[in-house]
Structure 1
Amino acid sequence: MGLKGMITGAKELVLEGLNCASCAARIEERIKALDGVTDVHVDFTAKKLTLETAGVEDLERVITEVRAIIRQMEPDVVVTEKRVDFSRQKSFLLMGLDCVNCAAKIEQQIKKISGVQSAVVNFPAKKLMVELAHNSPETEIYQQIKQKIDRIEPGVKVEQLSLAEKKMNPREETKAERKGTLRLAAGAALFAAALIFNFTTPVEIVLYGLSYLLVGGEVLLKSARNIARGEVFDENFLMSVATLGAFAIRQFPEAVAVMLFYQVGELFQDYAVNRSRKSIAALMDIRPDSANLKVGDEVKPVPPESVNIGDIIVVKPGEKVPLDGKVIEGKSLVDTSAMTGESMPREVVPGAEVLSGFINKSGLFSVEVSKPFAESTVSKILDLVENAAGKKAPTENFITKFARYYTPVVVFGALAIALLPPLLIPGATFQHWIYRALVVLVIACPCALVISIPLGFFGGIGGASRNGVLIKGGNYLEALNDVKIAVFDKTGTLTQGVFKVTGVVPEEVFSKEKLLEYASFAEAHSSHPIARSIVEAYNRSVDTEKIEDYEEISGHGIKVKVEGEEILAGNSKLMQREGVAYSQDKIIGTVVHLAVNKKYAGYIVISDEVKEDSATVMKRLKEMGVRKLVMLTGDNREVGQAVGRSLGLDEIHAELLPHQKVEQVERLNREKGPKEKLLFAGDGINDAPVLARADIGVAMGGLGSDAAIEAADVVLMTDEPSKLVSAMQIAKRTRGIVWQNIILALVVKGIFLLLGAGGVATMWEAVFADVGVALLAILNAMRVMRFNPV
């Protein structure tokens, strides 16, 4: 939770020594009943307690009460607050991990290691992310991790990564793939020889046997290891039983063919999955390899994580900006598309903030580093995308559970097909029905579902990041499909958040230019945003030497004398105080009244302009099925109503304090259906309590804002509301592709299971129903990464 815990009434606590699952459930129930608690979850396996309160002011009181409850119920449990410690977060590359079921087993086993607080295996990226408890023995845990992975997947090589090394080693991958291909080629050659040449039976059996061992030896070995550990039902078991059974009933060619085509299919699947990994890696290839550190007059390349705050780095043309900081020398154009999705280069000059991941297009410039590499924007974005795999969508969780029960059911169903008909049907033979049962086992492998579904969500998250949208998990990506109520902050979300002169209304004897000139003299010495907007609108230099006298009247405005003329600039209170008569027309916006020598000269309207795409976005959201559009603002009622009406919103609530915004969101939450979602979009800092209460919190213009990235579930990396539409389009595209894969796999397998049980489908068709469908599903899942929302 990190920063989110400090600013949103949320906190993550570590429960060291919690060993009782039922106690964890009872603790959760007791805490739920506490006054001010809006959400609580005790994760027994990770020994974590996640807590949310209605407001920051409730947090410390609730934590004190939580500690008392735990002390009463479980005296031996030590409660500590979780703190972000990058030194305790470890990443490992799992070279050669090609089994999604094994990835899930690895994750579960590593979570059980003492000293491991959390573990997530990101199968598409072949990454294991582990968070260690404080003072845990790092070397010992690393050895245990390797041992557990070796027991589950002996061929997987575990390599610990530093922050700057989170990339695959293509040479190792290629070497492993080459060995597998050569083994398959040798097995295929022997199989072809046995098939083509009419050898005598003993020679034929030897050739088929050698071919089978070359092609399927690895599968048999994995299956035997799994059975020894009590983990029976997986694809290795299904293939082993089916092919050994075919050998037992003397169907030698089909036994070898099924194993051969299964392995060839697995090879193609690996190729497709690796391609998707590389596509995602290309989308996120923003991590810099080195930084040019300036030491005196010397510039030397160093790893980005060795650079400290305050150090000076030099960024050359064509290089990525390695760390966040401020430009102190030079100017250039930078490409921000990898971070924000913006196509137009951005100009940077001395004083401008630059973020890691930007690409220098032209000139040379120097940057004073403002954040260490571990906390830089590029690291946070990469960690968000990589760790998103840990927050699974409901569809992913359903498929995981489905596969867990589906495979044993099919195995026992196949056993019934093999044994019951010969015993119950006159004339039925065991050999004939065993063959049908083996066909069913080959068809039943759930690979197509188990691989393609998480790959679809991971691809959707990667595709969203390429379009300047960070989505923190598959659960949030899927939830974007069900948004029926969208709530927006006004300032900085629907409007520019920048004051600008939108009206100059002089009295008859004055011109617009003269009125702006008088106002600029009055505001020349002020740093207030309204004053600056007036000086910018004047767009000429103000000769401050002409100002003879200057007085700032608190809460009213400014009185200034210029070349003998007294100028008053301020609100209506200033005009009344100085006895200046003027028309009391109702004006929408912030108004600066002006008087010259006690005579009313006119007024200037300063407004926060509505963003160009806000109106279009509201229309698009309605078209996409959002039922209600609401705006919450602390601004005055007239301004809020004017903005809301211009955008066609359904509800407008103005002059709200932060806690009143939370109340409005809670009211709207009660109005939505059980499966409907409420989305709130705000700036991620002032609106943090509301972001926490919404089903989906969206931070607008969150690039580089720590608070926004921590507080929100979805971060739009530019300040364009249209990015929200892009995120929802990507979510719909992802859901469509995921359900296409589910339907494709279930329908095809269902048809072939019936054909296999009925004796129509042979082993050859069974291989297509398994491997072919899995390959089609993976290729289909990859399409979401290439989707460009419009």
Structure 2
Amino acid sequence: MTSNKSTHSDCCGRDGGHSHYGEFSLKNEIVPVALSMILFVIGLIFYEDLHNTRFFLGEYLVFVPAYLISGWAVLTAAGRNILRGKIFDENFLMTVATLGAIAIHQIPEAVAVMLFFQVGELFQDFSVSRSRSSIKSLLEVRPDSANLKVDGEMKPVSPKSVQVGNIIVVKPGEKIPLDGEITEGASQVDTSPLTGESVPRTVQVGETVLAGTINKSGVLTVRVSKLFEESSISKILYLVENASSKKATTEKFITRFARYYTPVVVFFSLAVAILPPLFVPGETSAEWVYRALVLLVISCPCGLVISIPLGYFGGVGGAAKRGILVKGSTFLDTLTDVQTVVFDKTGTLTKGVFNVTQIVPKNGCSETELLHLAAKVESQSNHPVAKSILSAYGESVETSDVKDYREIAGHGIQARVGNSIVIVGNSRLLLRENIEHDVCDVEGTIVHVAVDGVYRGRITIADELKDDAVEAIRNLKNAGVEQIVMLTGDNQTVAQIIARQLNLDSYLAELLPEDKVEAIETYLGKASKGKKVVFVGDGINDAPVIARADLGMAMGGLGSDAAIETADVVLMTDAPSKIAEAIQVGKKTHKIVWQNIVLAMGVKGLFIILGIFGIATLWEAVFADVGVALLAILNAGRILKVN
């Protein structure tokens, strides 16, 4: 993340200083401020004596060094930008205003402008640094090394050098360096770096652990399942580091606004300095030049240019602390206008942990034979239904005689086992093949099995609702979501039961992946103007629907790589209740960003009027500018504290 510069450096000219993420050092930055302050105070105390020296020499000897020390960053940035052809920026405003003040012999005011601007910058940078800490902390969970087990010995290596299938050992207190499956040991794992959940999770042999989490108690032996580049933590870091590339509409507007606003301010101030003395009798050039300089200082848009991106950055960081990865500030804006939330069922509203509850053989087939056939065909699938059948079979599956394997999306699987064609799938698949079969009205997913066109029986598989599914729907209603829908490829009976348990507004069952896309198109067409449709899913079949929705969400734990990469928001805890939380973060971010815009524009507008009429001085101008920027920065920091 250190490769990205903050908007703060672009605004205030500290391109090479502390404004990089996490590089702020209070000790280093306070020295020039303190030195300038000492010279400034000395100048004010002995102002009369210094002012009365020959050619004001004493005054220049004290105030000019104070001016150069406090304003050097602004002066050099203005000079560099002029050479690059970027004349009208904030540094230019400050430079012209203060040099003009020196020209009309208002030297203390010129120093005050630069000094208090510098003090304001110091507080701003401190606030920026603290606000960014939540995202910077993600970098700290990047594992540094892995204990690779080779020939019974452990060797510390870089996680990037470990291959899939290698065995690593994770000791108590160590970060788990790579995703993998536990082969030995049991422990408690702190998942808060990835999910934001503070309660440790108990893990044991056969369970999956994720890179970046922390082993709390026992020694774990883990078989690596993913390369470091493909691990959960690497994906999270990539998503967060690149979140700033997708700017919100408000953020883009402010960038464009500042580009045109600054030259308008410069020419308006020039008109204030020149026109009144020419056309209004009795008005002096010195008075109106001073007023123009006040306008230049007041008009500096630093508070806006800094606080708006920081507000969105804080929103992304606040969401990340809660295990919600938002891939860009534009999606925070989208979350404020959600009208419809559409859920996939399996793995999203339900646990996706299936158990075989009934085996019903037909036409001379035994239960053992039926389960064995289904396990053979499902052995090459990663679908939760397939895993449940393999788990129920409980033995290793010989697949050398399984040929011509073919997954039929939304239907099931067809394969050649020995010399027979075996079909394992839902009722639609058997209807398509004109195979007579049982018609079931039971709670659960039905998997039918047929061999060479003859029905051999069915397997009933039950899933459970996620623990927070009911709470998730209730919270979405409370958050103002008008319609909550479920789309599933499962049968009507199962869909109806789930919809009733969750109090959903509507549902559509027995859908193919392309049917889900059509359904989303329908909901998008029905949405009110400016309102958004969200789709939440986890499987590879959900990727097209996630991409088509106004905002796509994916489950980060159970979710497929395709769904996670396509989604705009990733829920690392796989908890549907996080959706309402994400909407809250989006709404609070949007609210605070607009509070900052109104605050900055309102205060600046008021002081511009006061400056034109000669009521506001340079002293008040700098306090107004720095004060607005500070208030905006502190207000933006509140986003990290969404309840």
Please state which band the TM-score falls in when normalised by the shorter chain: 0.7 to 0.9
Deviation at 1:283, TM superposition (A): 5.0
Mapped partners of 2:628, 2:478: distance in 1: 35
Larger RCO, structure (CA 8 Å, separation 6 or more): 2
Mapped partners of 1:639, 1:93: distance in 2: 50
Q: Is 1:311 equivalent to 2:166 in the alignment?
A: yes
- Deviation string 1:499-544 (CA, Å, 9 cap, x unpaired) is 458899xxxxxxxxxxxxx99999799758889989999xxxxxxx
Q: Is the 8 A contact 2:445 2:491 kept in 1?
A: no
Q: Specify which of 71, 85, 106 is matched with residue 251 of structure 1.
A: 106
Q: Is 1:403 equivalent to 2:264 in the alignment?
A: no
1:100 corresponds in structure 2 to 10
2:216 corresponds in structure 1 to 361
The structure-2 alpha-carbon separation of the partners of 1:428 and 1:97, relative to structure 1 and needing over 3 Å to count, comes to: same
Deviation at 1:361, TM superposition (A): 0.3
The structure-2 alpha-carbon separation of the partners of 1:648 and 1:99, relative to structure 1 and needing over 3 Å to count, comes to: same
The structure-2 alpha-carbon separation of the partners of 1:496 and 1:365, relative to structure 1 and needing over 3 Å to count, comes to: closer
- For 1:370-409, list aligned pairs within 5 A: 370-409=225-264
Q: Specify which of 612, 622, 639 is matched with residue 494 of structure 2.
A: 639
Q: Is the 8 A contact 2:19 2:125 kept in 1?
A: no
SS in 1 for 2:464: strand
Q: What percent identity do the matched residue pairs reach?
A: 57
1:662 corresponds in structure 2 to 517
- For 1:216-615, list aligned pairs within 5 A: 216-282=71-137, 285-500=140-355, 587-589=442-444, 607-615=462-470
Q: Is 1:747 equivalent to 2:602 in the alignment?
A: yes
SS in 1 for 2:132: helix
Mapped partners of 1:639, 1:361: distance in 2: 40
Deviation at 1:416, TM superposition (A): 1.2
The structure-2 alpha-carbon separation of the partners of 1:680 and 1:756, relative to structure 1 and needing over 3 Å to count, comes to: same
Mapped partners of 1:689, 1:535: distance in 2: 28
Mapped partners of 1:503, 1:297: distance in 2: 44
Q: Is 1:183 equivalent to 2:38 in the alignment?
A: no
- Deviation string 1:330-383 (CA, Å, 9 cap, x unpaired) is 221111122123333222323322211110000112223232322221111011
Q: Is the 8 A contact 1:703 1:716 kept in 2?
A: no
Q: Specify which of 26, 33, 43 is matched with residue 194 of structure 1.
A: 43
2:413 corresponds in structure 1 to none
- Deviation string 1:720-778 (CA, Å, 9 cap, x unpaired) is 21011111111111111111111111111111111112211111221122111111111
Deviation at 1:464, TM superposition (A): 1.1
Mapped partners of 2:5, 2:175: distance in 1: 27
Mapped partners of 1:766, 1:454: distance in 2: 24
Q: Is the 8 A contact 1:333 1:362 kept in 2?
A: yes
Gaps of 5+ in 1: 1-90, 103-151, 160-166, 505-517, 538-551, 558-570, 572-576, 594-602
Q: Is the 8 A contact 1:702 1:709 kept in 2?
A: no
1:618 corresponds in structure 2 to 473
Deviation at 1:484, TM superposition (A): 1.0
1:214 corresponds in structure 2 to 69
Deviation at 1:238, TM superposition (A): 0.9
Q: Is the 8 A contact 2:315 2:640 kept in 1?
A: yes
Look up the equivalent residue of 1:244 and give its one-letter code.
L
Q: Is the 8 A contact 1:96 1:157 kept in 2?
A: no
2:578 corresponds in structure 1 to 723
Mapped partners of 2:386, 2:171: distance in 1: 39
Deviation at 1:92, TM superposition (A): 5.5
1:547 corresponds in structure 2 to none
Mapped partners of 2:445, 2:539: distance in 1: 25
Mapped partners of 2:459, 2:234: distance in 1: 45
- Deviation string 1:367-425 (CA, Å, 9 cap, x unpaired) is 23232322221111011011001110111101111111111111111111111111111
The structure-2 alpha-carbon separation of the partners of 1:521 and 1:374, relative to structure 1 and needing over 3 Å to count, comes to: closer
Q: Is the 8 A contact 2:473 2:577 kept in 1?
A: no
SS in 2 for 1:609: coil
Mapped partners of 1:254, 1:470: distance in 2: 47
Look up the equivalent residue of 1:340 and give its one-letter code.
T
Mapped partners of 1:207, 1:286: distance in 2: 50
SS in 1 for 2:143: coil
- Deviation string 1:441-484 (CA, Å, 9 cap, x unpaired) is 11111111111111111111112122111111111121011111
The structure-2 alpha-carbon separation of the partners of 1:502 and 1:313, relative to structure 1 and needing over 3 Å to count, comes to: closer
2:454 corresponds in structure 1 to none
- Deviation string 1:270-291 (CA, Å, 9 cap, x unpaired) is 1111222233312553211222
Mapped partners of 1:691, 1:592: distance in 2: 27
- Deviation string 1:205-253 (CA, Å, 9 cap, x unpaired) is 3322222122223322221221122111112111111111111111111
Look up the equivalent residue of 1:270 and give its one-letter code.
D
Mapped partners of 2:446, 2:99: distance in 1: 86
The structure-2 alpha-carbon separation of the partners of 1:703 and 1:336, relative to structure 1 and needing over 3 Å to count, comes to: farther
Mapped partners of 1:276, 1:556: distance in 2: 54
Mapped partners of 2:581, 2:156: distance in 1: 38
Mapped partners of 2:291, 2:320: distance in 1: 47
Cα RMSD over matched residues? 3.6
SS in 2 for 1:738: helix
Mapped partners of 1:754, 1:279: distance in 2: 40
Q: Specify which of 562, 565, 579 is matched with residue 710 of structure 1.
A: 565
SS in 2 for 1:282: helix
Q: Is the 8 A contact 1:334 1:348 kept in 2?
A: yes
SS in 2 for 1:300: strand
Q: How many residues end up aligned between the 2 structures? A: 582
1:770 corresponds in structure 2 to 625
SS in 2 for 1:245: helix
Deviation at 1:97, TM superposition (A): 8.7
The structure-2 alpha-carbon separation of the partners of 1:702 and 1:352, relative to structure 1 and needing over 3 Å to count, comes to: closer
Mapped partners of 1:592, 1:283: distance in 2: 43
Deviation at 1:495, TM superposition (A): 2.3
Q: Is 1:756 equivalent to 2:611 in the alignment?
A: yes
The structure-2 alpha-carbon separation of the partners of 1:424 and 1:698, relative to structure 1 and needing over 3 Å to count, comes to: same
Mapped partners of 2:424, 2:175: distance in 1: 49
SS in 2 for 1:204: helix
Mapped partners of 1:299, 1:503: distance in 2: 46
The structure-2 alpha-carbon separation of the partners of 1:684 and 1:430, relative to structure 1 and needing over 3 Å to count, comes to: farther
SS in 1 for 2:536: strand
SS in 2 for 1:686: helix
Deviation at 1:498, TM superposition (A): 3.2
- Deviation string 1:164-190 (CA, Å, 9 cap, x unpaired) is xxx95x6xx53xx54543223222222
